[in-house]
Amino acid sequence: MTAFNSMEERDQFDTRVLYEPLEGVERLENYRQGGYHPVQIGDYFHSRYRVIHKLGYGSYSTTWLARDEKSNKYVAVKVCTANSNPKEVDILSTFGHTLNSPVHNPAKTMVPSILDTFTIHGPNGNHACYRTAPARASLSQVKDGSWIRLFQLDVARSLAAQLVLVVDYVHAQGIVHGDLHLGNILFKVPHNFDQITLEQLYEKYGTPELDPVVHLDGNPLPPGVPSHGIASVWLGEPIEKITLAESRILLSDFGEAFSYSKEPKHESRTPLVIRPPEARFEPNKPLSFSSDIWTVACTIWSIIAQRPLFEGFLATEDDMTCEQVDTLGVLPPEWWRKWEARRHKFSEDGKPINREYFRSWDDRFEDSVQQPRQDSGMPMFDTRERDAIFDMLRPMLSFRPENRPTTKQILESEWMVDWEICWQF
């Protein structure tokens, strides 16, 4: 889910509970001045895009599956909140006419193309909107939709390779993504998706689920609040059934992206469990391309594993730093001294104290990657490939950002060369 573009923007949203909560629906209290635009199935955008389902939502937008009445194709339309700063459009537009990459770079097709922009004037304000090609589901949604939570080996290799390729492409344009995780990596729709009729789409994926919005005090709904909440459509399929041919990705959600040379950024909005440690221990230094490298490593681990590398439900920063030290070893000396909670968790030399159990790197690979694959009757990584994965990922997870490899160096690693890039994108 996308974070707000500024602290001021976040503070403008209501924290009170005004409506009966609906599962799988954006926060209804944010249908207010400056917030979401109310959308219903059957609405027309820009006099041509007919809304037929909901694809998803974030903190500063909702995204809708629509049928373009002019081209007779399915499209995705993102409707931004009125108070948002939709710089994502500017970022994505730079990719459309960049001169910094080869013409036939396959990664160009792995970032969304802005196909149309327009503005909706609604009861909650003026909403910037833009159209892109639709996508099926995020890698996170596909994993959450299966109890196995494991991709086949060839699919996992392909997804990891594509992720590095597209981040390399983004970095080559001088852009730091700033929010890389499974939820922002989407599967593309099949090539024949536009040939599916609306009736066939509803039959296969289900009709929109409309749940009445109810005001807790019994009053009528304000004009800027929709009459019904709409759950997002599930266009995915069981993770273990996804084939290599279907594993084409789209890197989405550039709401936290920034130009490294033009707009230094210090605050990371990446989910805490994969947030790079420099965001905590070097808050006065700007985030960089290396910050993306840390989250790419965590995301690749989640692609090949059943469980994430670092885990924490309702975790604190101290919890996550503890996870990182358990896995990767002692922090740099100045960070180690600065970390006040350290003395309650580790001895001076990094040995855990007051804890009977901790999981090392090798432990995590065995119980998150290998054992679940064996238990599910799926092929495991052999010793040589496992070592190649370790040799690639461990430098990417260096605590000091300046010690992490670039995307170009990652693409030259043994795992990428011998197991990944052989697939023709």
CA distance 221 to 19: 9
d(CA 56, CA 231): 8
Annotated binding residues for ATP? 78
- 38 in Cβ contact with 81 (< 8 Å): no
Can you say how many angstroms the Cα of residue 326 is from the centroid of all Cα atoms in its chain?
25
Instruction: Provide Rg for the chain, Cα atoms.
Output: 22
Binding residues: 78
Residue 38: name the closest of 121, 162, 157, 148 by CA: 121
DSSP state of 145: T
Nearest to 78 by CA among 138, 140, 2: 2
Neighbours of 316 (CB within 10 A): 11
In angstroms, the CA 421 to CA 324 distance is: 29
- Is the sign of the CA dihedral 338, 289, 161, 382 positive or negative? negative
Q: Where are the alpha helices (DSSP H) in 97-196?
A: 139-144, 153-172
CA distances from 70 to 67, 91, 115, 277, 410 (A): 9, 27, 13, 49, 43
Residue with tokens 């101290």: 318
